[in-house]
Chain A
């Protein structure tokens, strides 16, 4: 009896400690993001600066989207302070650029990487083993180890300041090829033999059999590729000059570098760039978790 009771007691203590830890960690990981959003909703810059150090910063006295879209009812709507992010710069353009670049890279990447992996996994040919080990070896090369020669190369191609310079070099990726390859190699041979006897061509097998079966891998690859490309900073910083092809991270950095800093507007920019991704993440949580795990098998 007594041991059972003490065991129960241990369990309760264990649970309580567990929850306290969980909550403390949640505070640590969430408060900067909450801080970003509450600051972005405060229309009064002076209020932001005076409260930025205290807990009051999390409870805005006045909530508005002025920092986002400006205040048309202000006495002087053309004053920089009243314009909001969308009034101060071509935010829509940056958003479009980022969405366009990421969409093209991820979709093109899914097709090209899965096709190459399918070829490697389902065909027997001379040099196949060498090919696969080459892909594995290429995974070691970090982007920074090719950035400067690549810069010189795209400059010689006349690609500076364009969309393709931010899309085409980043579609084929050895790591994503490897993830697809590992998946395709597990299929039984009988699968395509049956299909081939039925008269289905290789492309039909790829498109109608292999791709639908690899949906979980496709989701993982798409998410990893998306995160990488959405936050990509070093490369667009070097290859874009004007606003025409500038993606969000570079625009964010440039806006952040402008003085005097308007923290409300800066946080509105940061929120507009982050909230869509966070919503996407909350909806597709399970897939995000899987994709993070799959990056651990390298």
Chain B
């Protein structure tokens, strides 16, 4: 009796787990380990030449590849500027939306709309606005009383990247606002009531209650946005394709150009490994930061 039941259990377990396990293994685990293996070969997508083991030559080449470092540098700049700005904006928005005002839900909906709009579409619409005759140039002109000189934002190597940053903040802030909002709603109201009795003003309440209580949420938002900054691709591909003069070139665009356009799978795999190690380091940092706070 017992063995029959156990057998049945076992069978059921296999049926539940197997389809997912097979897919995860073939399409995530296998390619993940393949990237390590392929990074030591000269593999190409279509090639009549046999694949050869070439040791660490791909890595040597990668560390001498100026374009890779240009991309990495741009990703870092993007993260350094976009992450703090977007996080602050999102926190501010969450606090406004968290106020007990009539109709606040409608506004929350409005702020979230860019997030549900596909990045390719967002890029196209903003390209229209960044036109030399477009609305942004005109707006700048009217607020500077005509002092503003028309700029072709996306074709100007000084302005292209900041333009993409602004657009990315616009697209992503609504999402983080919701995460902050969830965090705000978990703060016990008691804390604020006690502070008011003690005579603490709004600013002190924010500094001594809201911010410390939101530490985990903030850490999560900061780190997940940093990782998203490293993955920057869609808007770059659509708006500038890395130009002008590589001012918007990114690591993933380089990965795409090497692995897909030039079909150098081995070389792109080496880049994949380095990219993953960077992401891993940031993720581990996140776990450490969050753990320490939980213990406190």
Contacts and interface: CB of A to CB of B under 8 A. Distances in A.
Do A and B truly interact? yes
A104 interface: no
Interface in B234-292: 234, 237-238, 252, 255-256, 259-260, 265, 268-269, 272, 275-276, 279-280, 283
Question: Closest 4 A-B residue pairs measured CB to CB?
Answer: A116-B20, A119-B16, A53-B138, A172-B23
B110 interface: yes
A145 interface: yes
Contacts of B114: 29, 32-33
Given A29-B113, A144-B233, A278-B116, A35 B217 contact: no
A177 B24 CA distance: 11
Nearest to A172: B23
Contacts of A203: 12, 15
A149 B260 CA distance: 11
Interface string B186-213: 0000000000000000000000000000
Contact size range, B? 35 or more
B179 A273 contact: no
Contacts of A153: 26, 30-31, 34
Contact of A273 (B12, B118, B134, B260): B118
B24 A174 contact: yes
Contacts of B260: 148, 151, 238
A113 interface: yes
Given A21-B96, A138-B24, A151-B265, 14 more contacts: A18-B99, A18-B101, A22-B107, A29-B110, A29-B170, A36-B121, A49-B133, A54-B138, A115-B16, A123-B13, A177-B20, A231-B118, A233-B120, A288-B112
Contacts of A288: 112, 116
Contact of A146 (B32, B45, B112, B135): B32
A282 interface: yes
A266 B259 CA distance: 30
Interface in A235-267: 237-238, 248-249, 252-253, 256, 263, 266-267
B272 A256 contact: no
A278 B118 CA distance: 11
A145 B272 contact: yes
A30 interface: yes
A107 interface: no
A25 interface: yes
A59 to B, nearest CB: 13
Which size class do A's interface residues fall under? 35 or more
Contact of B256 (A234, A267, A273): A234
Contacts of A26: 107, 110-111
Interface stretch (B59-67, B122-130, B155-163): B122-130
Interface stretch (A61-69, A76-84, A211-219, A289-297): A289-297
B179 A293 contact: yes
Contact of B96 (A25, A113, A115, A171): A25
Interface of B is mostly: helix
A32 B170 contact: yes
A33 B129 CA distance: 11
Contacts of B29: 138
A192 B16 CA distance: 15
Contacts of B21: 116
A253 B238 contact: yes
A168 B35 contact: no
Interface in B1-44: 8-9, 12-13, 15-17, 19-21, 23-24, 26-32, 34-35, 38, 43
B236 to A, nearest CB: 11
A21 B28 CA distance: 44
A270 B272 CA distance: 32
Nearest to B112: A288
Contact of B19 (A112, A274, A285, A289): A112
A96 interface: no
A277 B116 contact: yes
A152 B45 contact: yes
B112 A296 contact: no
